[in-house]
């Protein structure tokens, strides 16, 4: 098969168990791009966290971020495509999360910046504390997420114990029109992500869109991943 676009998940797929890209994988990406193949890294990460992987790359590639809600250029974060969550859907999602004692956070591309908006950090939720501690440079605190949501954001996220996330997921699915899913465990603890995107957003849809932009036949796509969101 003459592949024209290779879509590769980052965590658990491209990266080693140490969270780094091996010299062999890096050389293979570079070789594919030199042959005219589009290589897209597809991840649940934000642009801020994806930069930690691509730092030092001497080539440009498209990044599919937030599990398919965004496509950006790797070098500068310039938006290629963006599937945002409807404002009222995001507000309903925040309210429902709070009803079940979750602390929602909002990923947003607002006023030209990739940011993470939150109200508070529960010190008893160790995974949530650790997650937020790695993103200090993009954190934006607000007293009221509902009031903040006067526009369409990128994504809602919550982090809690597996049993709670599994209980809340079907409730959210039944009450809001959105893509509600989990990408599984966080930091190898019994904590899971709960993620909410626009109903039509996914890694698959983003890769299909990227192929159309580059006039590539969908049959010429190969996708590699390892988790629920893949």
Q: Which pairs with CB-CB distance under 8 Å and at least 24 residues apart come from 120-129? A: 125/159, 125/160, 125/191, 126/189, 126/191, 127/159, 127/186, 127/187, 127/189, 127/191, 128/103, 128/159, 128/160, 128/191
Q: How many C-beta atoms surround the C-beta of residue 32 within 10 A?
A: 17
Tell me the pLDDT of the chain averaged across its residues: 93
pLDDT (tens digit, 9 = 90+) per residue, 56-102? 899 999 999 999 999 999 999 999 999 999 999 999 999 999 999 99
Helix boundaries (H) for 13-84: 23-34, 47-54
Region of residue 172 (phi > 0: left; psi between -120 and 50: alpha; otherwise: beta):
alpha
Mean pLDDT over 9-32 rounds to: 93
Please determine, for residue 177, whether its predicted confidence score (pLDDT) is greater than 90: yes
**DSSP designation for 228:** T
Mean pLDDT over 130-159 rounds to: 96
So what's the pLDDT on residue 134? 92
pTM: 0.90
**DSSP designation for 134:** T
So what's the pLDDT on residue 56? 87
Closest among 172, 35, 147, 152 to 87, alpha carbons compared: 152
In the chain, the N- to C-terminal Cα span, in Å, equals 22
């Amino acid at each position: 098969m003459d592949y024209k676009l290779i879509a590769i998940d980052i965590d658990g797929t491209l990266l080693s168990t140490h969270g780094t890209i091996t010299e062999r994988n890096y050389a293979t990406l570079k070789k594919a791009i030199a042959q005219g193949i589009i290589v897209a890294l597809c991840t649940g990460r934000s642009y801020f966290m994806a930069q930690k992987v691509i730092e030092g790359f001497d080539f440009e590639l498209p990044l599919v971020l937030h599990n398919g809600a965004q496509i950006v250029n790797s070098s500068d974060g310039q938006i290629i495509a963006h599937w945002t969550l409807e404002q009222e859907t995001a507000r309903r999602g925040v309210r429902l999360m709070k009803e079940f004692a979750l602390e929602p956070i909002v990923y947003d591309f607002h006023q030209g910046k990739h940011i993470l908006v939150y109200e508070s950090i529960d010190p008893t939720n160790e995974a949530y504390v650790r997650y937020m501690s790695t993103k200090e440079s993009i954190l934006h605190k607000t007293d009221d997420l509902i009031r903040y949501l006067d526009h369409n954001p990128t994504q809602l996220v919550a982090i809690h114990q597996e049993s709670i996330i599994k209980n809340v997921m079907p409730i959210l699915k039944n009450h809001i029109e959105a893509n509600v899913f989990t990408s599984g465990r966080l930091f190898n603890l019994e904590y899971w992500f709960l993620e909410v995107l626009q109903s039509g957003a996914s890694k698959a849809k983003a890769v299909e869109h990227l192929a159309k932009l580059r006039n590539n036949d969908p049959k010429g796509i190969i996708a590699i991943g390892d988790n629920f969101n893949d």
